[in-house]
Structure 1
Amino acid sequence: MYFQTADIEVALWIPPFVAFVISFFTSMGGVSGAFLLLPFQMSFIGYTNPSVSATNQVFNVVAIPSGVYRYWREERMVWPLTWIVVFGTLPGVFIGAMVRVLYLPDPKHFKLFAACVLFYIGFKMVRDVLGNSNGGNKKKSEARFREMVKRNTSPGGAAASPATTVTCFNLKRLGFTFYGDAYNVSFWGILLLSFIVGIVGGIYGIGGGSIIAPFFITFFELPVYVVAGAALMGTFVTSVAGVVFYQAIAPFYPNLSVAPDWLLGILFGVGGMAGMYLGARCQKFVSAKAIKWMLAGVMVFTAIKYILNFFEY
């Protein structure tokens, strides 16, 4: 099938199939998989127009709600955490888009810096997993959650207590419990991190889940079974804003493909929708350590890709 905006021809089943496979695994860690779809589109199906970034974000807009819905059904959405991520991310993505257009037409040096940061976080996460230095509360609550799954007790069911309970939420701290263990984080720390991630997402046209989820787990020591939903929701908002921005500026660049290829993006999104729903549903059957290994691999892979891009110039 020929896609006019992308100026490519590809079999109709390939985009949803590839998106399904990628999203199934990445959604378990709060990552949409858009950062993997971008090189797939550019390297494997030949979509190299600037609109590939916007098309990638259409995928996020279509696919992510199914995963968020599943986390909500199982009462693993800490909504105050989610709203902090959303409100921090939203202004950041517009700033990032303007920075990309005005100051970073060639962002290779920023990518090299980002690669160093990702390598550091990935190394720290690997060290924590190998050394079992996950923090007492986090290990207990995650183990309790896994034990509940083994007993076939449905989180959020009529006979079960809520998986998460918010204990405090103000302009200084956010506190909540996850299966009886308490977590308390800085409101402004989460907001600032979300703002920075929004800028990065706006610059590169990908969701920020691959950055924000590992930060939540490694530096704020939050349980992986809770942060995934909030990270995906932040990526969703970032992507909506990005699609709106690229579509709005498209008329100002009539000789350049800027607006998304909607049909291709929706095809990717349909596959991603099924993959994210199943990934969110299956996450509780996967150990937290395995998910952290996956996230560490995601960060290292992204860092290597950025470094290789830097030396290609």
Structure 2
Amino acid sequence: MLFQTAGIEVAPWLPPLVAFVISFFTSMGGVSGAFLLLPFQMSVLGYTNPSVSATNQVFNIVAIPSGVYRYWREGRMVWPLTLLVIAGTLPGVFAGAFIRIVYLPDPQTFKVFAAGVLGYIGIKMIGELVRGKKANGPDTGGGEQRFQEMVRRYRTRSADRGKTAHAWSPVTVTHFAMRRLGYTFYDERFDVSFWGIFLLSLVVGVIGGIYGIGGGAIIAPFFVSFFGLPVYTVAGAALMGTFVTSVAGVVFYQAIAPFYPDLSVAPDWLLGILFGIGGMAGMYLGARCQKFVSARAIKWMLAGIIILTAAKYFSDFWGR
């Protein structure tokens, strides 16, 4: 099947299948999987035009609502955190899209940028995991043991609550002001800086706008490793923020396409929708299964995928 905007020919069953597999695993960490679909499109399918970023965001628009819906049904959406993410990333994504088109249209230059971003995130996550293991001892340290007990109670409550999914919530917002945001996840209390979250989201919006991922792949690891928030509560907020910024990104790319007639800027809608259909099923199942996977396993999975992707980009650049 020929995708004219992308300039590639692909079997129509391949995009949804790849997106399903990727999204099933990445959605457990609050990541849509777009950051892995982009290297797949560029390195495997040969889709290297700037419009690949916009096509990636079409995938987010189609795929993410199913995952957000699942997190909402299970009462794990921290809405003040979600609003902060959206408020910060939304203006940044416009600046990022402009930078991508004007300063990073060459695929090799873009790959170096993407490899640097992903490499930093992956190394930071691995460092946090290694330091956490040393501090807590071999497999079951104090902090991890308490958290796993919290998760056990969460799973038990999930199994017993019946069909009225939103009649209870394991998350309770304790305060939300211009300085601090706080909430509880069962017996654990979490408190973060309002402006710290906002500024991080703004930077992530710029990077996500350049990369075409909406920012979830960057902001979710930072929430977990830097702010110390549990992955079970940040996943929904990260995905929702990615959805909103992806909508804005696609609108922006589509709007400015006529001003760059010599570049493929607007998304390949058909390809993006096919990816999105597979991602929709993968995210829903991933969000549903997340509570049965340990937080540490999810973090290691994300870190490993990110590092491998960054290494592939660096390899493509140096081997050209």
Greater shift in the superposed pair: 39-48 or 115-124: 115-124
Kept in 2, the 8 Å contact 1:27–1:228? The answer is: yes
The separation in 1 between residues aligned to 2:251 and 2:133, in whole angstroms, is 43
CA separation of 1:153 and 1:128: change in aligned 2, threshold 3 A: farther
Q: Give the aligned length.
A: 313
RMSD: 2.5
1:71 maps to a residue whose letter is Y
2:272 counterpart of 1:265: yes
Kept in 2, the 8 Å contact 1:58–1:266? The answer is: yes
Task: Report the equivalent of 2:4.
Answer: 4
2:69 counterpart of 1:69: yes
The separation in 2 between residues aligned to 1:279 and 1:115, in whole angstroms, is 22
Unaligned runs of 5+ residues in structure 1 are: none
Residues 144-293 of structure 1 mapped to structure 2, 5 A cutoff: 144-150=150-156, 152-154=159-161, 157=164, 161-293=168-300
Q: Structure 1-normalised TM-score?
A: 0.91
The separation in 2 between residues aligned to 1:290 and 1:87, in whole angstroms, is 30
Cα offset for 1:123? Answer: 2.7
Unaligned runs of 5+ residues in structure 2 are: none
Runs of 4+ in 1 over 6 A off after TM superposition: 134-138
The separation in 1 between residues aligned to 2:148 and 2:92, in whole angstroms, is 32
Task: Report the equivalent of 1:21.
Answer: 21
1:98 maps to a residue whose letter is F
Cα offset for 1:261? Answer: 0.9
User: SS state of the match for residue 206, structure 1?
Assistant: coil
Kept in 2, the 8 Å contact 1:172–1:186? The answer is: yes
Cα offset for 1:136? Answer: 6.2
1:185 maps to a residue whose letter is V
CA separation of 1:239 and 1:161: change in aligned 2, threshold 3 A: closer
User: SS state of the match for residue 233, structure 1?
Assistant: helix
Kept in 2, the 8 Å contact 1:92–1:198? The answer is: yes
CA separation of 1:109 and 1:174: change in aligned 2, threshold 3 A: same
Task: Report the equivalent of 1:126.
Answer: 129
Kept in 1, the 8 Å contact 2:126–2:300? The answer is: no
Greater shift in the superposed pair: 218-227 or 254-263: 254-263
The separation in 2 between residues aligned to 1:158 and 1:61, in whole angstroms, is 24
The separation in 2 between residues aligned to 1:110 and 1:307, in whole angstroms, is 10
Task: Report the equivalent of 1:305.
Answer: 312
CA separation of 1:164 and 1:213: change in aligned 2, threshold 3 A: same
Kept in 2, the 8 Å contact 1:175–1:185? The answer is: yes
Kept in 2, the 8 Å contact 1:155–1:163? The answer is: no
1:211 maps to a residue whose letter is I
Calculate percent identity across the aligned residue pairs. 67
2:206 maps to a residue whose letter is I
CA separation of 1:88 and 1:139: change in aligned 2, threshold 3 A: farther
Q: Structure 2-normalised TM-score?
A: 0.89
Kept in 1, the 8 Å contact 2:208–2:215? The answer is: yes
User: SS state of the match for residue 50, structure 2?
Assistant: coil
The separation in 2 between residues aligned to 1:158 and 1:36, in whole angstroms, is 31
Cα offset for 1:139? Answer: 5.3
